[in-house]
Amino acid sequence: MMLPVAIVGGATGHANFWADLWRVLSLQDHNTRVVVIGTTLLGVAAGLVGTFLLLRRRSLLADAVSHATLPGICLAFLVMVLAGGTGKHLPLLLLGAGVTGALGMLTVVAIRRFTRLKDDAALGIVLSVFFGIGIALLGVVTRMQQGSAAGLQSFIYGKTASMLWRDALLIGGAAFGTIVLCVAFFKEFSLVCFDPGFAETQGWPVFRIDIALMTLVVVVTVIGLQAVGLILVVALLIIPPAAARFWTDRLGPMMTGSALLGGASGLVGSGASALLPDMPAGAVIVLVATGFFAASFLLGRARGVLPRAVRHARLTARIGRQNLLRALYESGEERDDHAAPVGLEALLARRSWSRRALRRLLAGAERDRLVERVSGAWRLTADGIAQARQVLRNHRLWEMYLITHADIAPSHVDRDADAIEHILDAGMILRLEELMAGEALRTVPASPHAEGT
């Protein structure tokens, strides 16, 4: 959508900009309302369907289907012209796109099912062959008298500004139907996406459910041609669910987040295009979606780079703190005095710490009043002894479990236990107690691999 905004210098320019911004935000213009409603509903539908597509590991299927729609558009135009029409009837053009898009999808399924070729080869074959046929037919159409002004190339790159109210109704109706089907068949689609083998053993028609899911992909792809074009429509099917994946590990919230991000991409992108001269709405919508993806990539609570870095740093600090407390406790255990001072060199000999790292750990533990310095050595405080006892107890419970139930030699369990003891939760510890001895292990057990045990 390209609605020019006159921005001139001075107060007049600022006043015009804010007036135009308010006109876009309040949807006062008919064309703006049509485009915003159509692209928002398209984004929501694409976000929902794209979630299942992403989890099914078939994201590039949308790319193949979108390129396979071009021959259908050209063939539908030729049929309408030969029948005496103008060839510009959008529902029939989209119907032709849907037919060849579905044919491309079925071709991918057939190649995978009846040959030894993998998904990437099948998708590459369908994408290139169908798009090549479409380009050849487009050349034929554009040389026709009616075809020169048909504007069929807008289906390649998108032309949101030319969307009419009936076009928006068509897109909105198809998008709403897609949303309803995604919600209605949530259980079936989820089962096929996560564990198709289990679904098949339980008697579910996996192949038919898979075909139904891919049919929804074709529908969303076809209705997105008018808004963003066949090249960019794949972005609406992939980027919102990929961005939502950074925020949650649960399917329900992921679908909700993907739908919201897809709808917001359409809403913000089409609105921004109304304020930016010579900026096509399709490209702006994809750029907005990319911005959401970048923000999710950095800040996503479940898988974002920064939260993961923070969690990793906290885990590393906790592991270092627990290893220090355990080393001090074990040193005191050997001398029957848990509060016995331990020198820096003796601590360095117990673990592969660097001198700098050990000093940093000791400084942090001293700041939290878990250790205290005594005559150049270090010893545990009362709080430090209590925490160290819990850490060591978890470690030895796991060691005894490995020896008793996993048949691992006592001389080999220390490293395995050291890797797991820091992430044992209360439920796992309770289960270990039940397995090992129940009430008998409420205190710290002796080292199972120490000499004489």
Q: Which domains does the chain have, with CATH numbers?
A: 10-238 (1.10.3470.10), 309-441 (1.10.10.10)
- Considering Cα of 395, then 399, then 404, then 406, what sign does the dihedral take? positive
Alpha-carbon dihedral of residues 14, 16, 20, 22, nearest 10 degrees?
Answer: 60
CA distance 357 to 320: 9
CA atoms of 35 and 14, how far apart (whole Å): 25
Q: Which of 207, 220, 212, 192 is nearest to 101 (CA)?
A: 220
Angle at 382 between CA 380 and CA 384, to 5 degrees: 50
Chain centroid to CA 44: 16
Considering only CA atoms, which of 210, 207, 175, 174 is closest in space to residue 190? 210
**Nearest of 216, 225, 234 to residue 52 by alpha carbon:** 216
* pTM for the full predicted model: 0.76
Phi and psi based region of residue 181 (left: phi greater than 0; alpha: psi -120 to 50; beta: remaining)? alpha
CA angle 245, 248, 250 (to 5 degrees): 100
Q: List per-residue pLDDT tens for the chain, 453 residues long.
A: 444 444 444 455 556 666 666 666 666 666 677 778 878 888 888 899 889 888 888 777 888 888 888 888 888 888 888 887 777 777 788 888 889 988 988 898 888 888 888 878 888 898 899 989 988 888 888 777 665 545 666 666 666 666 677 777 777 788 888 888 888 888 888 888 888 888 888 888 888 888 888 888 888 888 887 767 777 788 888 999 999 999 998 888 999 999 999 999 988 888 777 777 677 777 888 889 999 999 999 999 989 999 999 998 988 888 888 888 888 888 887 777 777 888 888 888 888 888 898 899 999 998 999 989 888 888 889 898 888 888 887 777 777 777 776 666 665 555 555 566 666 666 766 776 666 655 444 455 555 555 444
